[in-house]
Amino acid sequence: MAELNTDSGGDKGGKVRSKKQNSKVDLTAMVDLAFLLITFFMLTTSLSKPQAMSLGLPDKDPKDKTEDLKVDENRTMTIILGDNDQLTFYMGLIYNPIAGPKKIAYGKDGIRKELLKRKKEVAAYTAAKGRPDQGMIVIIKPSKKSNYKNVVDILDEMAINAIPTYTIVNDFLPEEEKLLEGK
Amino acid sequence: MAKIKMKKKSTSTDMTAMCDVAFLLLTFFILTATAKIPEALPVDTPASTVQVKLPDNDLATVSIGKKDGVNKVFFDLKGREVRKKTLELMAEKYGVSFSDEDKEKFALMTDFGVPIGSLKQIIDMKASDRVKADQPGVPMDSLDNQLKEWIYNARKANIEVNDRELQVAIKGDAKEEYPVIRKVMDILQDQNVNTFSLVTGLRGKDF
């Protein structure tokens, strides 16, 4: 690889000839080094910073005893996160559900379709009532057996479907407990 | 007859352009690099479609993960001055003394998961040993809720140093059971921190 200096001119002549220097520098080693450093920096860099999902939960000060707000059951959807990546949803009240309770899958073919459908229904309902500013309310109830991924997934669904109001509730009604066990 | 002489081709290639490109890339990577700091508790975060990035300062991270079958909670804080101040406040609260050198070292550390009593041992270790050390996690049960104190004092320190409210991020493992996460959320809510971030990875667009 390296260029050999083939200039073998001796000093036979009387003139002292300055040796012609080869102008080419061997860059191989330099390139080697550069690529080594590139590899090092590529591997040690964390290019993608982690994402942050903002979550606001309702205040739960025990001193704060505001009356439980009556919410229109036609606008509420409850999603119960069960074990083994299962979820159950129902609309309205558990005693008298408008739809469901029904088991459904995560992802775009499961809960997302349902959410979009219900969201449209709620929009039509509130528009008919003359209060189109009121959107859908989703109550998320993660059971003890659900995992963190399920919670993030469902919160992500809320963001994707642009659900205006949603919250995480940890209290289960007896009927909902039954629903969880009876699966 | 004259022999046809093959022109001898030089075997050396011109490396100048290659060298240029290599160094250009190298410069780019050096300038954009933020060194990956080894975490004491590796956590596999779940993916989401949110695009908001985690802030660089005023941030406390609570990592929740499972190591050797045990749920562990680690605590991390951004900002050297905030870290120092927090350690001072914690030392005061628990009656543990740290030297100035310890505080300086703690300011440069990353996450940790030990009770305040054994924190000094962790501080004295080398960075590479800290990762290997068997850290039991920050205690957070009702009898000895040090995580609560850490968060509380970190918030206090951040207000004193930066005059801004500290943001708390929960970095949970995807497979972590919900009750453990809920416990941390409850600790936060007990201090009236009702808004916090969940750290997630990036999900593909077609989800």
Pairwise CA distance, residues B132 & B38, whole Å: 10
pLDDT 10s digits, B164-183: 888 888 888 888 888 888 88
Exposed, middle or buried: residue A91 (CB in 10 Å: 0-12, 13-18, 19+)? buried
Q: Which of B64, B197, B207 sits opposite A53 (nearest CB)?
A: B197
Pairwise CA distance, residues A174 & B11, whole Å: 83
B205 to chain A: nearest residue by CA?
A: A160
Pairwise CA distance, residues B127 & B11, whole Å: 48
Compute the count of residue pairs across chains A and B with CB atoms less than 8 Å apart.
Answer: 157
Asked whether B71 and B88 are in contact (CB, 8 A), the reply is: no
Q: With a threshold of 0.90, tell me whether the complex ipTM lies above it.
A: no
Domains of chain A: 76-181 (3.30.420)
Beta carbons of B199 and A2 less than 8 Å apart: no
Pairwise CA distance, residues A113 & B156, whole Å: 45
Residues in chain A with CB shorter than 8 Å from the CB of B38 are none
Closest approach of chain A CAs to the CA of B173, in angstroms?
7
pLDDT 10s digits, B23-78: 898 888 888 776 666 677 777 778 777 777 777 778 888 888 887 777 888 888 88
A96 vs B199, residue with greater confidence: B199
Whether B182 contacts chain A with CB within 8 A: yes
Pairwise CA distance, residues B184 & B64, whole Å: 9
Beta carbons of B207 and A153 less than 8 Å apart: no
b/e A125-137 (16+ beta carbons within 10 angstroms → b): bbeeeeeeebbbb
Q: Which of A61, A147, A160 sits opposite B177 (nearest CB)?
A: A147
B103: enclosing H helix or E strand: helix B100-108
Pairwise CA distance, residues A131 & B122, whole Å: 59
Low pLDDT (below 70) residues in chain A: 1-15, 46-49, 60-70, 182-183
B30: enclosing H helix or E strand: helix B16-32
Beta carbons of B48 and A51 less than 8 Å apart: yes
A109 to chain B: nearest residue by CA?
A: B207
B:32-91 residues touching chain A, CB 8 A cutoff: 32-36, 45-55, 64
Q: Which of A31, A57, A59 sits opposite B185 (nearest CB)?
A: A57
Please report the pLDDT score of residue A50 as a whole number.
72
Percent of chain A's residues with pLDDT above 70: 79
Question: Residue B17 — very low, low, confident or very high, per pLDDT cuts 50/70/90?
Answer: confident
Residues in chain A with CB shorter than 8 Å from the CB of B54 are 49-52
Q: What is the mean pLDDT of chain B?
A: 79
Evaluate if residue B201 carries a pLDDT over 80: no
Please report the pLDDT score of residue A67 as a whole number.
57
Please report the pLDDT score of residue B104 as a whole number.
82
Range among B18-27, B94-103, B143-152 with highest mean pLDDT value: B18-27
Please report the pLDDT score of residue B42 as a whole number.
74
